[in-house]
Structures are given as structure tokens and as C-alpha cells.
Amino acid sequence: MTVTVRFAPSPTGHIHIGNSRPALFNWLFARKNGGAFILRFDDTDLERSKAEYAESIETDLRWLGIQPDRIERQSERVASYDAAAQKLKDAGLLYPCYETPDELERRRSRQRALGRPPVYDRAGLKQSDEERAAFEAEGRKPHWRFVLPNHDGDPFQTRRTDVSWTDLCRGEQAVDLASLSDPVLIRADGTYLYTLPSIVDDIDMGVTHVIRGEDHVANTGVQIAIFEALDAKAPVFGHHNLLTTRDGEGLSKRKGALSIGSLREAGLEPMAVASLAVLTGTSQAVEPVPAMEQLVEKFDLSNVSRSSAKFDPEELKSLNARLVHDLPFEAVRDRLASLGIDPTETFWNTVRGNCETVCAAAAYWQIVDGSIEGKIEDEDREFLSKARDLLPEGDITVESWPAWTNALKAETGRKGRALFMPLRRVLTGLDHGPDMKDMLPLIGRQNILDRLP
């Protein structure tokens, strides 16, 4: 069977680096196994789902290098969910419940106060048709729960029932269905929660492997039971640890600065983001991987560790810088042009080692081409006017800098920092930067003369 995976975001916000982890894991898994990747929008929550978020998620994934083989929307597949719900109802496995959220909350508090786990007592399952009719007459609408198979025929006598699976990341896993409430599959307004549509889709779309965050482990116990109730074979599951910041804080969708869109706007390379999102929290070193094919080679779900995947956003910068330092000219030519730079290989090779992002090259382009404010200290004025006199004749080449500074050294007796720094400052306006030997020919004779006093 062809390996088929899916990334199933709810389009209720922009995705951030934490969400990119399951997206990338699924993508790499598909690539590694010659499989298909489905982007599935879990958009059954019509109030919170927005087309613009779905669009932005697709854009973000493509920027990261993920090209879905198929795009699906749950909102277009409701008829299939209705059919599955009907099948469960016919089998007596989906039952109406009329409690209001307040009533349920009061019941849970009572259970907690008595030291009992707040598990739903299946009161809805006991109700007679007359009782249900009475609720309906009051104008109440039911929500629908699935009867978990945690009993031997009498649902009011539950017993420990472990649903187990071999997890691609966590090894042997078990969830005791007796510790869980019967899950609500359909809300009182008739809309579906994510649980059932996800299963129906996984069955209909031939999903072979479900790779998602470890916050879904308990859901998996429930979902395996529903797969079975629908006479389907459950896929293979893998639950990875979640990305968190250094202090262990989760990344909610509100963490704007870590949204994929804002990382893109900050000029980060997609492969820096992908390297961090994939390698953090694994037994592998977090290092910049230049291309997706190489990340495919490295990727192995069994390397995912059990503890959380903590990262420091600062790490992104350094991974990015390391990638940028090695980017060949061909890879950046068009991007340099779009920054208003007239790109040449010599320019890029000269400045890339000093660029944390590709966009940072624009500042060096200003030095080479545009007007910059050179910095001159009063005590260096005389030295710099000597420099003007001693600038080598003819074309400025890579030989010019050593020839020029040697002549200045002989003439003024200055050496080291006192010799080089005033020249760097007046010609570039900066205290640090690319090698002056290489910068000088790019800056050119006219700019040099214009900047010297």
C-alpha cells in the first residue's frame, strides 16, 4: 500500500514554527517512503475557520518546501461524516445526551470533590425515549457521544480496557478507555468535532500513517476504538514531542513572532526554520541542513526524544547565518536583485560571510554603490588625508589594500587597529565588516576619494 500521510491543521490562525514540526515530519516521512502528502484542512468549526488562514497555511508550507500532493477540506465532506455517524447510531454506539455545559461542569466538580475522576457517567445512555422527547419539547438539542468499548456488554460496568499500539516515536503505547469519558462526536448544533471527521477522512483517503503531536495520544486511544467500530483498520501512529521555548512554554498560535509568516518576513531561510523545527528534541545535533533532500536523509522518527523539544529563538538566527554564509551566488542572485542590488558573484562572495540573512547584503551594497556616512574621528583627519595622497594609482584591485596600508604604515608609523580602523570607518561607516582587501575594489576609486577628507 502506498504510504499516505496528512497534515491536518485547523485554519483558525496562522501556523508557527511549532505547527511546522508535524507538517515537516509528515512531508519528510512521505518523501523518505515514496509516499503521498495530503494537506487537509480540519475546518468543521465554521465559526473559527477562515479561508484566509487556509491560504496563509498553504503559502507558509510551500515556502518551507512542502508541496502537497492533494488538498482536502473537511467542510466539503460532511455527507461522509453523516453516513459514518448514522452507521454508529444504527449500531447503538452513538447516543444523544441533553446535558447543558453547566450541568456537565457541576457534575464534574461533584466527582472531583468526591475524589473520583471526572468521567461522564453515561446518563444519556440510560434515558428513555419519553425522557428524550421531554428534553426536545423543552427545546433542547442533543449532542452525541460514542460508547467507548470499555465494558463486557453492560456499559455501566466499565473495566480497564487498554488500547495499545506501537508508536513510531514512543514505542509501545496504551490508553485505558475506562479512564476516559465517552467522546462527544457531534455538537448540539449538529456540527462535528474533529474526532470523527478525522477518522472518516483517514479511512476514505487511505491514510497509512498518522504523525502528530503527543497532545493527541489520548485521542488515539479513542480513535482506534472508532476505527474498529467502523470496521476499518487503524493507521500506524507516531506522536512526537512538542516544540516549546526554553522555559517550557508552549507555542500558541498567538506567538506572532514565531509565526512562519513573520520568520519569512524577518528574512530567515526556510531551511533554517525546517532544520530547527525537525532536529530540535531529537537525538541528532541541531545543525543547518542546506536542502530538504538532505533533511530527508537525516530524518528518522525513532530519533525523536521523549522529553519536550526546547529551543531558543536565537538559535534560528545562528542557524540562518551559517546557511547564508555558504549559499552559492546562483541561489541568491534573484533575491539580491529584488533587494535593489546589481548582483555579481564577487560582491556576494565578499559579503556573505558577514550576512546573518540574505537581506543584510543590502547594507553592504549601500557601501559599495550608494552613499554612506563615513565616520571620521578628529584625531584621524590628518592620517586620512595622507591616505588620500597615498592611494595606489590605477585600477583598485585586491592588491590595492595591502599596498595602500603598507605605504601608510611606512609614512605614519601607525600599525594594527590605529592603521586599519580609521580607513574601515571612513570607507564603510562600520567598525566591522567584510575583508577590506575585497571590499576596496568593489567600493572603487571614486567612492574612496569622495569619502576621504
How far CA 124 is from CA of 100, 158, 191, in Å, comes to 12, 16, 19
Tell me the C-alpha distance between 85 and 146, whole Å. Answer: 10
Grid cell of 100 as nine digits:
447543558
Would you say 9 or 441 has its CB closer to ligand GLU? 9
104 forms beta bridges with none
Give the nearest distance from C-beta 192 to ligand GLU in angstroms: 12
Tell me the C-alpha distance between 395 and 124, whole Å. Answer: 90
Would you say 13 or 343 has its CB closer to ligand GLU? 13
Instruction: Look at phi and psi of residue 187 and say left if phi exceeds 0, alpha if psi is from -120 to 50, else beta.
Output: beta
Query: Which residue stretch of 6-14, 28-36, 358-366, 374-382 sits at the interface with ligand GLU (rule: CB under 6 A)?
Result: 6-14
Would you say 42 or 269 has its CB closer to ligand GLU? 42
Residue 165 makes contact with ligand GLU by CB under 6 A: no
Query: Which residue stretch of 2-10, 50-58, 153-161, 440-448 sits at the interface with ligand GLU (rule: CB under 6 A)?
Result: 2-10
Residue 42 makes contact with ligand GLU by CB under 6 A: yes
Would you say 16 or 122 has its CB closer to ligand GLU? 16
Query: Which residue stretch of 178-186, 209-217, 254-262, 322-330 sits at the interface with ligand GLU (rule: CB under 6 A)?
Result: 209-217
H or E stretch at 370? none
Query: What phi and psi, each to the nearest 5 degrees, are found at residue 261?
Result: -60, -45
Tell me the C-alpha distance between 316 and 444, whole Å. Answer: 35
Residue 81 Cα to chain centre, angstroms = 29
Site for ligand GLU in 282-341 (CB under 6 A): none
How far CA 266 is from CA of 15, 144, 263, in Å, comes to 16, 46, 5
Give the nearest distance from C-beta 197 to ligand GLU in angstroms: 9
Would you say 199 or 387 has its CB closer to ligand GLU? 199
- Count of residues near ligand GLU by CB under 6 A: 9
Residue 241 makes contact with ligand GLU by CB under 6 A: no
With CB under 6 A as the contact rule, the residue among 14, 122, 212, 425 that binds ligand GLU is: 212
Would you say 239 or 425 has its CB closer to ligand GLU? 239
Tell me the C-alpha distance between 54 and 44, whole Å. Answer: 13
253 is in an annotated binding site: yes
Residue 41 makes contact with ligand GLU by CB under 6 A: no
Q: Which residues contact 339 (CB under 8 A, 6 or more apart)?
A: 358, 359, 361, 362, 365
With CB under 6 A as the contact rule, the residue among 4, 10, 44, 354 that binds ligand GLU is: 10
With CB under 6 A as the contact rule, the residue among 50, 89, 151, 216 that binds ligand GLU is: 216
Tell me the C-alpha distance between 112 and 117, whole Å. Answer: 6
Tell me the C-alpha distance between 317 and 301, whole Å. Answer: 25
Grid cell of 430 as nine digits:
562600520
Per DSSP bridges, beta strands 236-240 and 184-186 are unpaired
Query: Which residue stretch of 107-115, 210-218, 268-276, 292-300 sits at the interface with ligand GLU (rule: CB under 6 A)?
Result: 210-218
Residue 198 makes contact with ligand GLU by CB under 6 A: yes
> What is the contact surface with ligand GLU in residues (CB under 6 A)?
8-10, 42, 194, 198, 210, 212, 216
